[in-house]
Structure 1
């Protein structure tokens, strides 16, 4: 049986396109974001992937959540990564987790399709098998460079980079390159209920590690709230 709970909303923006293994160089699985951030994600928003609605991220402030939480298959292979994201959303929904996906074509030109082609490709091609994301996808756009979306300027500047090496520059399609840039698809950020970034993950960090980091942080926050009562 599912259960309903009153909880705060946690945001995990994700970059959804193909996954290619780059050369590794002193990367960290995750970093904590800077303690003093003057802005929040609630001052930003984005268009849904179908272009029908502009969603202000203020919508993701605290909410009531009801849902069942099934067990996922946790592997870090492209074929399963999309389903892992669905499982992450399902497993932590009762904790108030909200997963948001932002496709980008800046990494190896791996997301060349139009916005209208992305969901059918996920459903019928990769991973296929009728797959439908259970999290909100937004329109494809730049996450780095001169035309990057403002939400990513904020997120990147709020956290240290997880790796400084850019890998093969011939597979990176933006200018100028900046140290805080997102280095590849599936890099992730965690944002608190207050709208402030708190964690950033390397793109190859196993989803089980991501889940464990989120759960540890949620438990710590719950304990802090309990101690304040």
Structure 2
């Protein structure tokens, strides 16, 4: 069998075409994210992030997420850690939800090619606690991201896929596959340790009634110190 390198556009399509079937309910979103990684030592680092998600045809702030993480590098390709996130969800109609989310992560570099293409995996286990609710709900997320160089200036095609699986049922979770996100965009270096990644993200939400598909203009800023 002849193996040939995957072209950037084909690699991106590999992720995006894994999205579930088109839903009957759709929404246009704009999601912004700011991510800062601070290296405390060669082994220990801290990650801080904020995400603002504008929903309902991007007319209102539907969700605000603030997240922190402390990680430990086992080696150059593997790190583990855990953190806490506060999530404010403000949908149209239902009351606001304040969520306190604790989580643990395993991050693994699966592939690095001589040309600079990388494939990364992130496995995240979440414990979700909602104010005014008594139960703690568990969720598993499996993130896989491909980055392919496309220029000598450091630009890369970025594509990822991430299914969310509810490990139990509760006041908010329905159990089973609940969300599937697929993204394709371009990494643009701005300075040493700083890059912006604009792109398109599709979020498919599985529900007992009609599913929902969010078509999202997503712009993330990443900084490393």
Which one has a larger percent helix, Structure 1 or Structure 2? 1
Structure-2-length-normalised TM-score: 0.27
Q: Which has the larger radius of gyration?
A: 2
Which one has a larger percent strand, Structure 1 or Structure 2? 2
- Looking at both structures, which has the greater relative contact order when contacts are Cα pairs under 8 Å and sequence separation is at least 6? 1
Structure-1-length-normalised TM-score: 0.27
